[in-house]
Amino acid sequence: MNKKPLTEFSIKHMEILMLDKVIAEKIQSAAKEGKSYALCEIKEDGRVILGETRFDFWNRLIGCRTTLQFESWALAVWDALVCLSKDGNAVAIEEGLSVEIAKKAQRDGDYNWVVDRLVDIYRHVCNNKDGGASLEGDRRKSGSSVVVGSVAEPVVVNVNVADKRRVFRFPDATGKAFLNVETGIVGMSAELH
């Protein structure tokens, strides 16, 4: 098996998935029952490192870090997706997705595919997203880490075209604008005769 490193895009998607309350609780339970984590760092090899304080230095110094392997993280997210779905969707996710995770993550080492699949199911299959963050949702700490439990305002982009104003929200998992929209006219001149 030749494991492919996680892309930056997959790492951001993992961070965004962990913004959902149910998913965050399942991941915390997979790490250590009854513990809460203030810092989460995702490595390119798929390891998810959870720290009990917001400062990685202190987490390392006093040993309050827990590491989840990618397969454990993916199965915790799978468990949460089953909880977030209803009726036939829950059964389909419970019976089919765990097999796909095992094949792609453990046998093929294709972690990016697994992340894409989990995101697709979260977006299109899960029925209950009212209690958690949307994939366009909360801002969190930057630098391939997400602070679990901190809430901030999403980035708002204002676009004014022909006296019409439109507002778009485009934050990524770090809270920075994922898409910058600029409109206007540059370098225009006119001559009158």
pLDDT tens column, 75-130: 899 999 988 988 778 888 888 887 888 788 878 888 999 999 999 989 888 865 44
Q: Is 176 within the bounds of a domain? A: no
CA distances to 16, 34, 73, 127, 192 from 131, in Å: 14, 21, 21, 11, 60
Residue 32 resides in a domain: yes
DSSP string computed for 30-88:
HH-TT---SEEEE-TTS-EEEESSS-HHHHHHHT-EEEE-HHHHHHHHHHHHHHH--HH
What string of DSSP letters covers 158-177? EEEETTEEEEEE-B-TTSSB
**Is position 55 within any domain?**
yes
Domain assignment of residue 167, yes or no = no
Torsion angle of alpha carbons 169, 173, 179, 180, nearest 10°? 80
Q: Is residue 97 part of a domain?
A: yes
Number of domains in the chain: 1
Mean pLDDT score of the chain: 74
- Does any domain span residue 124? yes
Question: Considering the domain boundaries, does residue 51 fall inside one?
Answer: yes
Q: The tokens of 107 are what? A: 């046998």
Three-state SS at 154: coil
Query: Which has more confidence, 36 or 64?
Result: 64
Query: Per residue in 53-90, pLDDT tens?
Result: 888 888 888 888 888 999 899 989 999 998 898 877 88
Domain boundaries, position 107 = 8-146
Question: Pick from 147, 85, 163: which is nearest to 122 by CA?
Answer: 85
52 falls within a domain: yes
Mean pLDDT of 5-19: 92
